Amino acid sequence: MINAIIGAKGDMGKNLLSPLLKQIGQVVSVDIESTPLEWKNAWKADVIWLSIPRDKIPKVLEGIKLKPEQLIIDICSIKRHLHKIVKQTGASHLSLHPMHGPFVPLQGQRWSVIKTQANILENKNAVSILKFLKDQNINFLEPCSEDEHDFMIGIVLGVPELLTIVIDALIKEYSKNSKQSAPDVKKMTQWSVPAFNALYGFYIHSINSSADWLRSDLILGAHGNLLEDAKKAFSNLNKISVSDINLKLRDQRKFIENLPDRERNRIRSWIERWFVDASQTIFRLDGRKEPKPKIRIQEKIENNKIFPENKKNITVGIHGISGCFTEESIIRFCEEAGIPTNKLKFDYLVEADRVVASVLKSKIDRGVIAVANSGSGVYESTIHALSQNKVKVIAIYGMEIFQCLISDNSIMSIDQITEVFGHPQAVSQCKNTFMERFPSIKLVKGKDSDDTALCVKKIADGKLPKTTATLASQLAAKKYGLKILEYGMHHDPFNTTTFLIIKK
């Protein structure tokens, strides 16, 4: 089966359809910059996917004549009787809508199926595509008409987009009448509590996740007349009384109480967990101070026995190089335990087995090694090194790991990155993020010796191509003078690595 993607460079085409359809055969990708020959080949495909704005489709399909056995699949958010336009081509038509967009894992996605052709299951390509999508564990909504679908989208997408305008207007009016300065986004995120964070989170997500043309289309092109209905609804607020409000609050409470406890608790847990993670990220990145990763000491001997007391200089072997997470972790450990670090001299041994070997040979006084991560599992090289040698563990602690995507300073955006090379653990901690958001970027796991900070240094020294990025700490990016393209690439929001302090 040959699939053609019209609009292959957009988010849906690039991040969702292209990696998905490559699993079932050849994919022909075209866009506005493609040559006439490339377009000609696209129209010969068995299945033609329309991954372009709804209003662009009439012009794209103008004069196109196809065979009945060929299949056109549109994935538009708003249909507006699109089947009438597709019918003119002579091809069969399957109308779908990936409701969760291009960045949610397929196993968590729900797609709408829209009834536009009664005999669509007589088309073998349609049958094959639907079976393939179900095999990817995609959930499907019951088939509905184009009007029913567009009404649903008016509620689930159009209303949130419209409410971003309402929120702006309400905050502005409330600030003016309260004789207070209207707060900016930064201030409101710092004020946030779970309920407001959920509200303002959707505000930011709505703006951040959709192109301006789509946001405008969702408001102004929604089924019926969403904008006029909104004006009428809000004008009715002029007539609402205190008793009406109290009655409405009671009705809302009854509605929520009729939801199963399991569902209510699930939503609350999800919002509160998300709130913790979002708040930490906001405060970490607001520029007020250098962020300090959280640390949790699980076990340790007395403070005065962790490092030799009578030595002028205490050598500590580090599993990594200067700027690595292990170095950051031992500094944070000492801060948390109240232990001075002025006597500590770090020996950057890169690999866990070298740290263990140096401890056993008394070349260093203490060693610090990473042993496991909450999102990617154990460090195999560390386990092997410990299993083959006898050392004493004198402290166990966990530190929050904040993975950053770091590149050469000449790179302007993630779109220029073709490959990410990194320490095996760093890549494992971020692989789901890349699979969901940047599937076209190739992930390459290095060896245990390819420490996170060392990978940053390789980019700084020109030892890796400029289009190759890596995953490491903010400390490493700052130390080697490179650019952070994106913060928080790890898929586990509570990404934590467990470290050991060892001695002979």
3-state secondary structure 8-23: CCCHHHHHHHHHHHHH
Question: For the chain, what are the domain ranges?
Answer: 3-144, 148-285, 293-504
* Distance from C-alpha of 32 to C-alpha of 278, rounded to nearest angstrom: 38
CATH architecture of the domain 293-504 equals 3-Layer(aba) Sandwich (3.40)
Tokens of 106: 């397929």
Dist. CA 39–CA 36, nearest whole Å: 5
SS3 annotation, 94-131: EEEEECCCCCCCHHHCEEEEECCCCCHHHCHHHHHHHH
Task: Return the DSSP state at 144.
Answer: B
Edge-to-edge strand list for the sheet holding 404-407: 442-445, 419-422, 468-472, 404-407, 483-486
CATH, domain range 3-144: 3.40.50.720
- Specify the 3-state DSSP secondary structure of 57: helix
Which tens digits make up the pLDDT trace of 26-80?
999 999 999 999 999 999 999 999 999 999 999 999 999 999 999 999 999 899 9
Nearest to 494 by CA among 293, 263, 297: 293
Partners of 330 in beta bridges: none
Type of residue found at 186: K
pLDDT by residue, tens only, the chain of 504 residues: 999 999 988 888 888 898 889 889 999 999 999 999 999 999 999 999 999 999 999 999 999 999 999 999 999 989 999 999 999 999 999 999 998 877 666 666 889 999 999 899 999 999 999 999 988 888 888 889 999 999 999 998 999 999 999 989 999 999 999 999 988 877 777 776 777 777 877 887 788 777 888 889 889 888 999 999 999 998 988 888 999 999 989 998 888 888 888 877 777 766 665 665 555 555 444 444 455 778 889 888 888 889 998 888 999 999 988 888 999 899 999 999 999 999 999 999 989 999 999 999 999 999 999 999 886 788 888 999 999 999 999 999 999 888 899 999 999 989 899 999 999 889 988 888 888 778 889 999 998 788 899 999 999 999 999 999 999 988 899 889 999 998 778 877 678 899 999 999
Query: According to the model, what pLDDT value does residue 447 have?
Result: 87
pLDDT at 288: 41
Please tell me the predicted confidence (pLDDT) of residue 278.
56
- Do 420 and 469 form a contact (C-beta atoms < 8 A)? yes
Could you write out the DSSP letters of every residue in 435-486? HHH-TTSEEEE--TTS-HHHHHHHHHTT-S-TTEEEEE-HHHHHHHT-EEEE
